[in-house]
Structure 1
Amino acid sequence: MGCGMEVEAQKVIAGGLMIYVDRDTFLKFVKLKETPIVVVGETGTFKKIKVSILPYEGALIIYRGEIELPEGCIIVKAENLTISVR
């Protein structure tokens, strides 16, 4: 993906304030951070959906779909990604 570092995660459970955005808006949020940490993985039981998640100011900015991340991102690859609303 051309980013600065990749990290593999066993399981990621995300909850709280979740904001779903389009590709361009997601990339704008990524550019606001000097070294953004982006969690990437797939979610869904029957149909897998690629998801990228960026923590930002207490919220999770979420993009569903394929995305090329800019240089300098720290990527956490989630093998098991669950996005839950409680």
Structure 2
Amino acid sequence: MIVKTLWCGIEVPAQRVVAGGLIIYVDKESFFNLLELKENPMVVTGELSSSGFGLKQIKVTIMPLEGALIVYRGEVELPEKCVVIKASEINMGK
């Protein structure tokens, strides 16, 4: 998997990204309110992996905030101040 940041053009090879801890699902308005708390928030966009479960892919936008992952289920147009990382696949399981 290659993780590519759009803000500064850096590509970072990653074998696997594992997220653990507190995961908070929010609506669109709440997501944007939380984005405003940071000067240059890092945001990850991609699709949740559902391989093996027979489910359709779910597009998500994720932002780490104070040790938690803030998750919006869907795509949004993000402000220019965001550091955007496009992931080819996101697995929040194992």
Q: For the superposition of Structure 1 and Structure 2, which TM-score range results when normalised by the shorter chain?
A: 0.7 to 0.9
Q: Which has the larger radius of gyration?
A: 2
Gaps of 5+ in 2: 1-5
For 1:8 and 1:25, locate their aligned partners in 2 and report how far apart those are by CA, in whole Å. 30
Per the TM alignment, residue 83 of structure 1 is displaced from its structure 2 partner at its CA by 1.1
For 1:7 and 1:42, locate their aligned partners in 2 and report how far apart those are by CA, in whole Å. 21
Q: SS in structure 2 opposite 1:82?
A: coil
User: Which residue pairs with 1:72 in the alignment?
Assistant: 81
Q: If the length of structure 2 is used for normalisation, what is the TM-score?
A: 0.76
| 1:18 matched to 2:27 | no
Q: CA RMSD in A?
A: 2.0
- Higher-RCO chain (CA-CA 8 Å, sequence separation at least 6): 1
> 1:12–1:78: 8 Å Cα contact kept in structure 2?
no
Per the TM alignment, residue 80 of structure 1 is displaced from its structure 2 partner at its CA by 1.8
Per the TM alignment, residue 37 of structure 1 is displaced from its structure 2 partner at its CA by 0.1
Q: Identity of aligned pairs, percent?
A: 50
Q: How many residues align?
A: 82
Name the one with the larger strand percent: 1
Q: If the length of structure 1 is used for normalisation, what is the TM-score?
A: 0.82
